[in-house]
A and B are shown apart, each in its own frame.
Chain A
């Protein structure tokens, strides 16, 4: 793990991944602008070009030959695009979108040089190259009309020159801004300038003026193009940056000056020139952030857990000496220190948890690509609406969430949203809407995937379940509409596409549900025929640490996540009734099903008669009472996975170390609920009920 080459490799992969994600994001923006027939922001194309260019550079350094080759071809294509030698069209967008998937596959290869990939890569490169160049119309150089200093013109890159011409053709006025910048903060200042200018104007280039500046400052000449009247620009820039003047059209045509070579070296290094040495590009970090392996955070979290044990040991010592007057002052001091320690500890823990959090927007961006692709495959019009993309959730959850959500999105587009003509026929807008909504709710995060499609046919689902022998015909008539909808989560119901096509949902909802449950989450479904379907996924914000109720069952210690617990009440055996083969009690006039955990786990309860408790759990709209022997108290616990070998053990989401090498299993409330209400026993109970 500490092999430096490995670390460097990881570093590369992380950076490459970031670039590909940026590429994907920018492509979506480009796609959207194209489809709306909006003017395409040249800065966007330049960003795309830069991502690919940097990727090419670092791939070369790390021997990712295929990645480098693909990036190289794309770089040429994007260069043509930004120089307007080709234009944005469907074919070009498709090729670019393909690249995202392709990069991700190539980056995942164990052998980055693998010859097996060669044909695919070559075919793709051929596809990229096949997108032809369009000749640029030449109608006399518009630059000739302006009095721009030869020294400036001669150092423009091809791209800058192109943008300059394009701006003139679009009828923008050219301006020259002279401003002094602090040498120490020059990068920041230029970024600020860019931010300020971007709405009103485009910065063509900036370079140091040959005369200005002193030891600490440098005077830059910034060439701007803008539609904004001169007076407004003056108000904006002057005073803040320096003098601004319009560059007038001149009346006679000059001859182009010869290219100068004696440019100060500072000019080259300060400009984000795309032809820089690639190793330079990779050395510069994109933002004020560090990338951290999540395992390092787990390690820190473990250390915090150990500290918590130290803290409780101090507490015990304080308790032991509290009565003794001899050391009264020292014990009080120790107590105070202990409390201070605890406060800092909880801050430390919050801090570490915070670092693990990432915005759900990361997943939504990936999904947006799937939406686009699926809509195109199915020839449907889909508008994507995202709210709450900045809702944060544990990195591990984000990773685990992508696949289930992808499934839901595919289903919504394949089976939910109707084709445009069908939608028009039922007086819906031709363009379907798919919405991702995310928000926090208590210590959970809620993610909704909602479509305004045809909705699910509950009766069809029921008939399918009966036809497949998952449910007896008699039992099926007892089902409420919601229960019929929930049948979609049964394994074996939605495995054949022709049947699910009719029922309105696709394959693998059982798998989706299993994945969500494994993360300690819940999934629910609401659907109205003709109106649409909403799938709601509720997840804990973090998997790493939870507040838990510690209980004893048959002299063994277990932890029950507090998020699932509503209350605990004494267990009175005399009040237990049996209804339809299930034990229930009455709580405030409502019937509550109870589940004796000792019996479920095959233990013999050691509690004295009448000394037990019912812990009332609540999940979504369901409630279930867990009968336990003893309540120990509440504690923050670090959940650790049970490891692959025990992943088959039902009813536990992990284990936690209670100190002194004592391990408590963490009860998996969602799984226990599912087992009780929806498991094979539950279906049996449903049958016996009739």
Chain B
């Protein structure tokens, strides 16, 4: 799969005339991340976790959701970010990466944003060294001050543990 194919996962909302995308913003280890709302199947209170010995560090383990075994990942670790993880995660997102459901542990869910194309800066255009799981960065109105903007790290669900 080529890079461009992989990153073309922010599908615009078909009802939007401007090509806007619905993005679910979540907080995990001091950073805000955005997932295309179309791939988020469910938001759960964390079920009991079963560790998988000798799995890579970003795998927290497996959980059972209605008898289905789902892999739970630690997002900041997956992106190789140095984070002091002290609080236990507060929510689990069930994300469909096109092949299987993946559980993503997050601290909390912020809100859903509708992002216009001009709010998104794609990784390919930034030329920066970004993780392969990141599509780009999105700007959303700040929650703390009215004239500032917050940054969302936009996650590519297909590359997230997918093929």
A432 at the interface (CB under 8 A from B): no
Q: Say yes or no: A645 contacts B53, CB within 8 Å.
A: no
Contact of A663 with B64 at beta-carbon distance under 8 Å, contacts A642-B52, A644-B100, A646-B52 already known: yes
State which of B28-36, B66-74, B119-127, B144-152 sits at the interface with chain A: B66-74
Q: Identify the closest chain A residue to B97 (Cβ).
A: A645
A643 pairs with B55, CB closer than 8 A: no
Chain B residues, Cβ within 8 Å of A648:
55-56
Interface contact B54-A650, CB-CB below 8 Å:
yes
Q: Which residues of A contact B133 (CB under 8 A)?
A: none
Complex interface: chain B residues within 8 A of A665 (CB): 50, 52-53, 62
Known: A306-B67, A642-B71, A646-B71. A603 touches B55 (CB 8 A): no
Question: Could you tell me if B69 and A661 are in contact, using CB atoms closer than 8 angstroms?
Answer: no
How far, in angstroms, from A657 to B73 measured CA to CA in the complex? Answer: 19
> Which of chain A's residues have a CB closer than 8 A to the CB of B102?
645
Nearest Cβ distance between residue B51 and chain A, in whole angstroms?
7
B43 at the interface (CB under 8 A from A): no
- Which label, helix, strand, loop or mixed, suits the secondary structure of the A interface? mixed
Count how many chain B residues have C-beta atoms less than 8 Å from C-beta atoms of the other chain: 25
Q: Does A302 contact B (CB under 8 A)?
A: yes
Min distance, Cβ B79 to any Cβ of chain A, angstroms: 15
Are A649 and B52 touching (Cβ within 8 A)? yes
Return B43 CB to nearest CB of chain A, in Å: 17
Judge whether A641 and B99 touch: CB under 8 Å.
no
CB-contacts of A598-631 with B (<8 A): 600-603
Inter-chain contacts of B63 with A (CB < 8 A): 661, 663
Instruction: Verify A646–B62 contact, CB threshold 8 A.
Output: yes
Residues of B within 8 A of A662 (CB): 48, 50, 64
Contacts A645-B161, A649-B55; is A556 near B50 (CB within 8 Å)?
A: yes
Q: A640 vs B62: C-alpha distance in the bound complex, in angstroms?
A: 12
Is A456 an interface residue, CB under 8 A from the partner? no
Interface size on A, residues (CB 8 A): 29
A655 at the binding interface (Cβ < 8 Å): yes
Asked if A661 and B48 sit within 8 Å, CB to CB, the answer is yes
Query: Does chain B have a CB within 8 A of A651?
Result: yes
Find the B residue at minimum CB distance from A652. Answer: B52
Partner of B71, one of A645, A652, A664: A645
* Bound Cα distance A545, B92 (Å): 29
Whether the pair B62, A663 counts as a contact (CB closer than 8 A) is: yes
The answer to whether A504 has its CB under 8 Å from any CB of chain B is no
Tell me the bound Cα distance from A662 to B69 in angstroms: 10
- Tell yes or no: A453 within 8 A of B by CB: no
CB distance from A607 to the nearest CB of B (A): 17
A649 x B69 contact (CB < 8 A)? no
Most buried by A among B53, B55, B64, B100: B53
B161 contacts A663, C-beta separation under 8 Å? no
Which residues in window 66-90 of B have CB below 8 A to A? 67-71, 73
Interface contact B69-A643, CB-CB below 8 Å: yes
B141 contacts chain A at the CB level, 8 A cutoff: no
Encoded as 1 (CB less than 8 Å from any A CB) or 0, chain B from 116 to 144 comes to: 00000000000000000000000000000
Knowing A648-B56, A657-B67, A657-B69 touch, does A642 contact B62 (C-beta < 8 A)?
A: yes
CA distance A556 to B68 in the complex (A): 19
> In the complex, A649→B54 CA distance in Å?
6
Q: Is A521 an interface residue (CB 8 A)?
A: no
- Per the bound structure, the CA–CA distance linking A42 and B8 in Å amounts to 58
B residues near A655, Cβ cutoff 8 Å: 50, 62, 69
Q: For residue A663, which residues in chain B have a CB less than 8 angstroms away from its CB?
A: 48, 50, 62-64, 69
Residue contact A602 to B54, C-beta cutoff 8 Å: yes
- CB-defined contacts of B47 to chain A, threshold 8 Å: 661
A305 contacts partner chain B, Cβ-Cβ < 8 Å: yes
Report A574-612 CB contacts with B as 1/0, cut-off 8 Å: 000000000000000000000000001111000000000
> Are B59 and A664 neighbours in the complex by a CB distance under 8 Å?
no
Residue-wise, chain A 414-425 has the 8 Å CB interface mask toward B (1 for contact) of 000000000000
Q: Check if A643 sits within 8 Å of B64, measured CB to CB.
A: no
- What 0/1 pattern do residues 650 to 677 of A give for CB contact below 8 A with B? 1110110100111111000000000000
Contact A644 B161, CB 8 Å, known A661-B48, A662-B48: yes
Would you give the 0/1 interface string for A503-516, flagging 1 where the beta carbon is closer than 8 Å to chain B?
00000000000000
Contact A642 B54 (CB under 8 A): no
Q: Of all chain A residues, which has the CB nearest B50?
A: A663
Identify the closest chain A residue to B48 (Cβ).
A661
CB atoms of A643 and B100 under 8 A apart? yes
Residues in A with CB closer than 8 Å to B70 are 643
A306 surroundings in chain B (CB, below 8 A): 67
Q: What's the least CB distance linking B98 to chain A, in Å?
A: 11
- Which A residues are CB-close (under 8 A) to B50? 556, 655, 662-665
CA distance A600 to B162 in the complex (A): 29
Q: List chain A residues, Cβ under 8 A from B68.
A: 640
Instruction: Tell me the smallest distance from the CB of A548 to a CB of chain B, in Å.
Output: 15
Which chain B positions have C-beta within 8 A of A650?
54
8-55 of chain B: CB within 8 A of chain A: 47-48, 50-55
Contact with B along A167-206 (1 / 0, CB 8 A): 0000000000000000000000000000000000000000
CB neighbours of A660 from chain B (8 A): 48
Complex-state Cα separation, A689 to B12, whole angstroms = 63
Cβ of B52: which chain A residues have Cβ within 8 Å of it?
642, 646, 649, 652, 665
Task: Among B52, B100, B162, find the residue whose CB has the most chain A CB atoms closer than 10 A.
Answer: B52
Complex partner residue of A556 from B51, B67, B100, B161, CB under 8 angstroms: B51
B47's nearest neighbour on chain A, judged by CB, is A661
| Closest residue on chain A to residue B160 by CB atoms | A645
**A302: B residues at CB distance < 8 A:** 67
Q: A603–B69 contact, CB under 8 A?
A: no
Q: Provide the residues of chain B in CB contact with A661, threshold 8 Å.
A: 47-48, 63-64
Q: Knowing A601-B53, A602-B53 touch, does A646 contact B59 (C-beta < 8 A)?
A: yes
State the Cβ distance, B59 to closest chain A Cβ, in Å.
6
Please measure, in the bound complex, the distance between the C-alpha atom of A650 and the C-alpha atom of B73, giving whole angstroms: 18
A651 touches B100 (CB 8 A): no
What is the CA–CA distance of A663 and B62 in the complex, to the nearest angstrom?
8
With A645-B59, A646-B62, A661-B63 already in contact, the answer to whether A640 and B54 are too (CB < 8 A) is: no
Contacts of B162 in A (CB 8 A): 644
Contact A644 B64 (CB under 8 A): no
* A651 CA / B70 CA spacing, docked (Å): 18
**Complex CA distance for A665 and B69, rounded to whole angstroms:** 10
Closest Cβ–Cβ distance, residue A281 to chain B (whole Å): 37
Contact flag A651-B62 (CB < 8 Å), given A640-B68, A643-B100, A657-B69: no
Give per-residue flags for A529-571: 1 if the beta carbon is below 8 A from chain B beta carbons, else 0.
0000000000000000000000000001000000000000000
Considering the complex, give the chain A residue whose CB is closest to the CB of B99: A644
The smallest beta-carbon distance between A451 and chain B, in angstroms, is 38
**7 closest cross-chain pairs (CB), A and B:** A601-B53, A645-B161, A663-B50, A649-B55, A640-B69, A655-B69, A645-B71
Given A643-B71, A646-B62, 16 extra CB contacts under 8 A: A603-B53, A641-B69, A642-B71, A643-B69, A643-B100, A645-B161, A646-B52, A646-B71, A650-B54, A651-B53, A652-B52, A661-B48, A661-B64, A662-B64, A663-B62, A665-B53
17 contacts between A and B (CB under 8 A): A306-B67, A556-B50, A556-B51, A600-B53, A603-B53, A642-B62, A644-B100, A646-B52, A646-B62, A646-B71, A648-B55, A649-B52, A654-B69, A655-B62, A657-B67, A660-B48, A664-B50
Binding site for B on A (CB under 8 A): 302, 305-306, 556, 600-603, 640-646, 648-652, 654-655, 657, 660-665
